[in-house]
Structure 1
Amino acid sequence: MINVLCYGDSNTYGQRSEEGYLGRWPLEIRWTGRLATLLDEGYHVVEEGLGGRTTDFDYPASMDRPGRNGRTYLLPALLSHNPLDVVVLMLGTNDLKIQFERTVAEVVSAIAGLLDDVAAYGWTEAERPPKVVLVSPPRIDVTAPDFAEVNGAFYDRTSAEKAEQLAGPLAELAAARGAAFVDAGAVTETGADGTHFSVPSHERFAHVIADEVRRVTGIG
């Protein structure tokens, strides 16, 4: 059995991008569920997505969003799901919220720290670090019809520019660390809220990730 951990934020959780924006797309729609189906019985896919998750910092107490520090939670996630053959890592969108004023370089540095932890605390049956598929997060579409209402208080055009700028340095980071790389912004579109995958994009993204997982494991 090949174990695959999908670690990310609301786009890994499967947050609805339309139809009221509340709740989670069902397993048969969200990309992690479709990934499990595409990879078939030789693989076990673990979903570890949480809305609002950052790369490596806590929200201020005034924002009342506990437990969103992606680096703090990554360690117990790795330890509880080991042995792991592949970690699919997609974080960074929430770091770009207006309130945090994070630079692209700071986000990339934080993701490098997450890769350090995967290498240090993740392990396969053969006691090697798991393979990593590093994903640059999707674009932020400030022109989406419901963006202003749903996300206008959190993201702006500068956030969108930073999201697009992440792909290049994250591709370089992946190459330097021997990780596979996928630019989600190049293969997905957001729904009406401008930040979360559309339903067709969940399907498309699942196929892209399935291909990468098969490639890095050498199976299929």
Structure 2
Amino acid sequence: MKTIVCFGDSNSYGTPPMPHPDFWGRFGPDERWPGVMRRAVGADITAIEEALPGRTTVHDDPIEGADRNGLKALPMVLGSHRPIDLLIINLGTNDLKARFSVTADDIAASVGVLVRFTQASQAGPNSSAPKVLVVAPAIILETSFFREYFQGGAEKSRGFARAFGAMATRLGVPLLDAASLITSDPLDGIHLDPSQHAILGQALAEKVRTILT
């Protein structure tokens, strides 16, 4: 049995497109991309969802809280679920918030910090390092009430494929460019509808089969 940990934000947690700021919801386990991926890969894996809405790569969020910092959470995640065969990192969208004032290259470099931390860990089988798969997030749309939060973020997100690709090559890890496959829902410009979760989950299943065989 192989263990995959899906380390992400609200688009891994399964937050539906939000019609207003006070909306809360979550797609079911079989609708979220980790569940789609798990079913597509088969019964020989367990896929653990470690996803938190608002999670950043390496930043304490001054409004939503320091617990959103992915780098602070990662040691606990690796320790809690070891031995981990594969860590899938699907982060970067929340770093696009205007309050962080970072570029696409900065965000890719921040994901690289998470990759290097994992590669230096002993959280894999026989105290080795887990394998890592990086997802470059979908392009966002500056629509709805999120427009002010993510001002300028749409243009930055269009640089994810290039920036994440260069980082992944440097660190020797595989990459899935989600923007080449899926689109953010125009209702809020950030989240994915079930059809996009299904596409992403199937694409990741194909990657996972290659990585873990």
| Same topology, TM > 0.5 | yes
Structure 2: segments with no counterpart, 5+ residues: none
Q: Which residue of 2 aligns with 1:155?
A: 150
| Secondary structure of 2:203's aligned partner | helix
Whether 1:92 and 2:92 are equivalent positions in the alignment is yes
Q: Which residue of 1 aligns with 2:55?
A: 53
- Cα 1:112–1:88, aligned 2, differ >3 Å: closer, same or farther? same
Kindly state the Cα deviation for residue 68 of structure 1 after the two structures are TM-superposed. 0.2
Kindly state the Cα deviation for residue 65 of structure 1 after the two structures are TM-superposed. 2.8
Corresponding letter in the other structure for 1:168: R
Distance 1:76 1:126 in 2: 18
Corresponding letter in the other structure for 2:169: A
CA deviation string 1:140-180 (max 9, x = no partner): 022xxxx223x122112x21111110211211211222211
Which 4+ stretches in 1 moved above 6 angstroms?
Answer: none
Aligned pairs, how many?
210
Among the aligned pairs, what percent are the same residue?
A: 30
Distance 2:107 2:36 in 1: 28
| Secondary structure of 1:207's aligned partner | helix
Distance 1:193 1:38 in 2: 28
Corresponding letter in the other structure for 1:197: L
Q: Which residue of 1 aligns with 2:207?
A: 212
Moved more, 188-197 or 201-210: 188-197
Corresponding letter in the other structure for 1:133: L
Corresponding letter in the other structure for 2:167: L
TM-score by length of 1: 0.90
Residue pair 1:84, 1:122 contacting (<8 A) in 2 also: no
Structure 1: segments with no counterpart, 5+ residues: none
Distance 1:122 1:199 in 2: 35
CA deviation string 1:27-49 (max 9, x = no partner): 11111111111122100101011
Kindly state the Cα deviation for residue 66 of structure 1 after the two structures are TM-superposed. 4.0
Kindly state the Cα deviation for residue 18 of structure 1 after the two structures are TM-superposed. 5.0
